[in-house]
Amino acid sequence: MSEPISIDIWSDIACPWCYIGKRNLEAGLASTASDDDAPQVDITFHSFELSPDTPVDFDGDELDFLAGHKGMPREQVAQMLDNVTNVAKNAGLEYRFDLLKHTNTVKAHELLHHAKAEGLQHEMEERLMSAYFTEGKHVGRIDDLVELAAEVGLDADATRDALENDKHLPAVRQDQAQARAYGIQGVPFFVIDGQYGISGAQPPEAFANVLRDLWSKRGAPAEEQPAG
């Protein structure tokens, strides 16, 4: 049995393209599931903060934040958000920027590492992104994060202790250091088998094609594999 293909994903909870990229990867994987020899994968999420200087309680809406952060006119920001909302809809997501509560995401990243240690990282990633982009929930405060963690099956007291004591902050910083080492400047960024980089929310078929190609090479007899 071949080893699963590793997929390491650098993303931020507050990155709209990261949630779209996650959905597109899932759709790509779903399209390969019926293959006679379907690719097997092992997915790990890694931390990347797009705006680490953002306060936990930002005073304003997403238009205010992006207009100030990027120095763009509000009308241009509104058009940009409309565009990403439409792209998200094509991926099966209903973004609600009118409800979104912009916040600092470092504690959410710490929570993802806590969930990873408990075998629930994928469930926690999905819950956080859904809460942020489609439900207008706050994902920066410890109380709110503990509540979301409990929803996916994590122990509330253990989660609170981990977040209050920065237990997983070193792991967040290690992810960020690895991103710098790879030269990652924007997310989502997918590292396949530790050697192939895919930047951005690529369409499902792009992921499917790469995974099928890698899996077929992995399963080929040694004498059929290209040298070198």
pLDDT at 83 exceeding the cut of 70: yes
Burial (CB < 10 A; 0-12, 13-18, 19+), residue 15, is buried
Q: pLDDT tens digits for 38-67?
A: 999 999 999 999 999 999 999 988 999 989
Tens of pLDDT, residue by residue over 188-214, are 999 999 989 999 999 999 999 999 999
Distance of CA 125 to the CA centre of its chain: 7
Q: Specify the pLDDT at position 228.
A: 40
pLDDT digits (tens, 9 = 90+) for 7-41: 999 999 999 999 999 999 999 999 999 999 999 99
Please tell me the predicted confidence (pLDDT) of residue 71. Answer: 87
Band (pLDDT 50/70/90 cuts) for residue 223 is: very low
Mean pLDDT, rounded, for 65-91 = 93
Q: What is the domain-level CATH number for residue 220?
A: 3.40.30.10
Write the CA distances from 88 to 18, 31, 91, integer angstroms: 10, 19, 5
Tokens 């439900």 belong to 135
Q: What SS3 state is found at 202?
A: coil
pLDDT digits (tens, 9 = 90+) for 110-165: 999 999 999 999 999 999 999 999 999 999 999 999 999 999 999 999 999 999 99
Say if CB 184 and CB 50 are below 8 A apart.
Answer: no
Residue 171 has pLDDT above 70, yes or no: yes
User: Would you state the pLDDT for residue 219?
Assistant: 73
DSSP label at 76? H
pLDDT value, residue 72? 87
pLDDT band at 99; cut points 50, 70, 90: very high
**Nearest Cα to 124, choosing from 103, 102, 139, 135?**
139
Question: How many folded domains does the chain comprise?
Answer: 1
Enclosing domain of residue 67: 5-224
Higher pLDDT, 73 or 224: 73
